[in-house]
Amino acid sequence: MPEVRYDYETILLNWDAKKEQQKADFIEHIYQCYQPGNHCYTGLWQRFCQEEAGPYCRDLHFERKEAIEQFLKDPNHVSSY
């Protein structure tokens, strides 16, 4: 396996403290929602993606695809909001 090297200077120069805090806050939120019996954070992001975000994004993909197909069938009919 190749050695992984980190350029810490580049990492720190591009560091976004607010974004990193948001990531930490969100993973804590997921932890509180799932309340894992092993008291570990390991796997929580994957579980969230598979059980919540994944299905939502999949459904949204097909909704958008269907909307595009409907638009292409009749591009002159655009609903106004």
**Residue 80 confidence class, pLDDT cut points 50, 70, 90:** low
* Angstrom distance (rounded) from CA 7 to CA 48: 30
Domains in the chain: boundaries: 8-73
* Interval 10-31: pLDDT, tens: 999 999 999 999 999 999 999 9
Specify the pLDDT at position 64.
Answer: 96
Q: CB neighbours of 34 closer than 8 A, spacing ≥ 6?
A: 44, 47, 48
pTM above 0.85, yes or no: no
For residue 13, CA distances in Å to 5, 10, 19, 25 come to: 16, 5, 14, 22
